[in-house]
Amino acid sequence: MNIQNLEKKIIECRKCNRLVSFREKIAFEKRKSFMKWDYWGKPVPGYGDINERIMILGLAPAAHGGNRTGRVFTGDKSAEFLFKCLHHVGLANQSNSDYRQDGLKLKGYMTVAVKCVPPGDKPTPDEKTNCEPFLAQEFKIMPHLKVIVGLGKIGFDSCLKFIKKSYPIKMKDFKFGHGVRYELPNGLILFGSFHPSPRNVNTRKLTFEMMVKFFETLKKDIS
């Protein structure tokens, strides 16, 4: 399957009734500050260059970020922080991620484990399972993939679940934390990172300096 067909399949998906209802409700009601926006309100596919060596894997689109703009980590505070860091270390051509045609280019591929925004940012186990085939295809379409960044524990665990289908690994052997690095049985390298959420940034659980150091470290594995 090529990237265009995969994106089409993702965007057309209506498998999870709860997520379909929620994403469309958000798109209809809108946030007051975005009333002039034509919200995306559909599953959000990955974005970037599939021929690069790094995948950044998050949880799900934000209600008024990816669910509004149609691109992951775009148009919200998490994106604002993340792309300042990515630009600083040379993994993005600009420090902002505002909308789909804003000129952003990544030296990597960015996606989410769950393609629709979930209520309270908490997808159910069945919803996560329903999206697993899409993530599996995203892994397969990256011929030079070497490094995966799990942004937050769900992104981190989603990678491990994919690996577990082919190799007898134990999830408990891979403890999540910021900056952890694991060499996986299939040759890929998995890094864990705190999610760049406003809560983590505002409480300084995650700082600009921490994230820049993190990306500088993992770049050594893709050079």
Classify domain 3-34+44-219 at the CATH class level: alpha beta
Domain ranges of the chain: 3-34+44-219
Per-residue pLDDT tens for 184-201? 999 999 999 999 999 999
Secondary structure in 3-state letters for 178-189: CCCEEECCCCCE
pLDDT at 222: 87
The radius of gyration of the chain's CA atoms, rounded to the nearest angstrom, is 16
Mean pLDDT for the stretch of residues 126-155: 96
**pTM score, two decimals?**
0.95
Backbone angles phi, psi at 102, to 5 degrees: -90, 5
